[in-house]
Amino acid sequence: MSEPLVVMDGVNKWFGDLHVLQDIDLNVDRREVVVVIGPSGSGKSTLCRTINRLEPIDQGRILIDGEPLPAEGKELARLRADVGMVFQSFNLFAHKSILQNVTLGPVKVRGKSKQEAEARAMELLERVGIANQADKMPAQLSGGQQQRVAIARALAMDPKVMLFDEPTSALDPEMISEVLDVMLELASEGTTMVVVTHEMGFARSAARRVVFMDGGRIVEENTPEAFFNDPQTARAQDFLSKIL
Ligand code: ADP
Ligand code: MG
């Protein structure tokens, strides 16, 4: 058995008086897809953000491929790029073309040549079905298209793990499936993924494990079948009764 790709070990974090992450122990294996669900305010986004050190933690440790992310500097930029992140709001660079959005990081952080970065970017844009829009600006694309560009941009850094924080929550309903389809494909190719989502269909078909959070804690953790068919805690039962 190789060691897990992501190790969270006794992680605690406070925002002032709010104990937002409480004794989080969570490992993600290579090629594993973990779906994180839970009510609003339960700490899901904060958990994601600690994994790539957008948020510091107060206690415990987080290892990516055996290493902690350094606190700052060039090394942080390099190692943080090992953790790709896709947010609810697509966060593309508004004044750069789609192609530039995807090539900027690999050139700046990975030291790729422009040519090499562009060739790879076009491959990735092809993969998410946007290659014919490469010269457009983000505002010219639909929300679903922009989110697929955001996925391509994250993949362009050759991350070891991809984090998705409610990637379809800001999309019009008809655009949700085009983004979920790309994510399902990544999952089936063996991409290591942590996905915060309310899309239970995705969880059922892509997750190996569902992690249920409430009040800053991991309350329950199980296979999707077991979790959805037979949740063990009252809090999970209550949550599922409201969303299913
Ligand atoms: P979720 O993603 O599950 O909805 P979050 O991780 O966004 O939950 O938030 C968990 C709790 O932490 C919420 O009560 C939220 O208001 C609070 N919180 C999030 N970010 C900050 C911050 N930067 N400063 C203070 N409180 C925060
Ligand atoms: Mg959130």
Mutating to test ligand 1, I would choose from 13, 14, 20 the residue with most ligand atoms within 8 A of its C-beta, which is: 20
Percentage of the chain with pLDDT > 90? Answer: 91
Alpha-carbon span 235 to 240, nearest angstrom: 9
Alpha-carbon span 185 to 221, nearest angstrom: 24
Q: Is 50 in the pocket of ligand 1 (CB under 6 A)?
A: no
Q: Is 119 in the pocket of ligand 1 (CB under 6 A)?
A: no
Each residue's pLDDT tens digit, 106-149: 999 999 999 999 999 999 999 999 999 999 999 999 999 999 99
Compute the average pLDDT of residues 206-228. Answer: 97
C-beta pairs of 116-120 under 8 Å, 24+ apart in sequence: 117/156, 120/156
Can you give the pLDDT at residue 54?
92
Can you give the pLDDT at residue 1?
60
Place of tokens 């669900």: 37
Q: Is 153 in the pocket of ligand 1 (CB under 6 A)?
A: no
Specify the ligand 1 atom closest to the Cα of 196.
Answer: 2
For residue 244, pLDDT beyond 90: no
Alpha-carbon span 180 to 56, nearest angstrom: 30
Alpha-carbon span 47 to 115, nearest angstrom: 36
Alpha-carbon span 150 to 223, nearest angstrom: 28
* Half-sphere exposure at residue 193, Cβ-oriented, CA atoms within 13 angstroms: 31
Percentage of the chain with pLDDT > 70? Answer: 100
Are 112 and 120 contacting, i.e. CB atoms less than 8 angstroms apart? yes
Compute the average pLDDT of residues 216-239. Answer: 96
Can you give the pLDDT at residue 165?
97
Cα(233) to ligand 1 centroid in Å equals 23
Alpha-carbon span 17 to 31, nearest angstrom: 36
Distance, first Cα to last Cα, the chain? 36
Q: Which ligand is nearest to the CA of 166?
A: 2
Q: Whose CA is nearest to atom 27 of ligand 1?
A: 15
Alpha-carbon span 145 to 94, nearest angstrom: 14
Each residue's pLDDT tens digit, 39-97: 999 999 999 999 989 999 999 999 999 999 887 778 888 888 899 999 999 889 999 99
Compute the average pLDDT of residues 200-214. Answer: 96
For residue 229, pLDDT beyond 70: yes
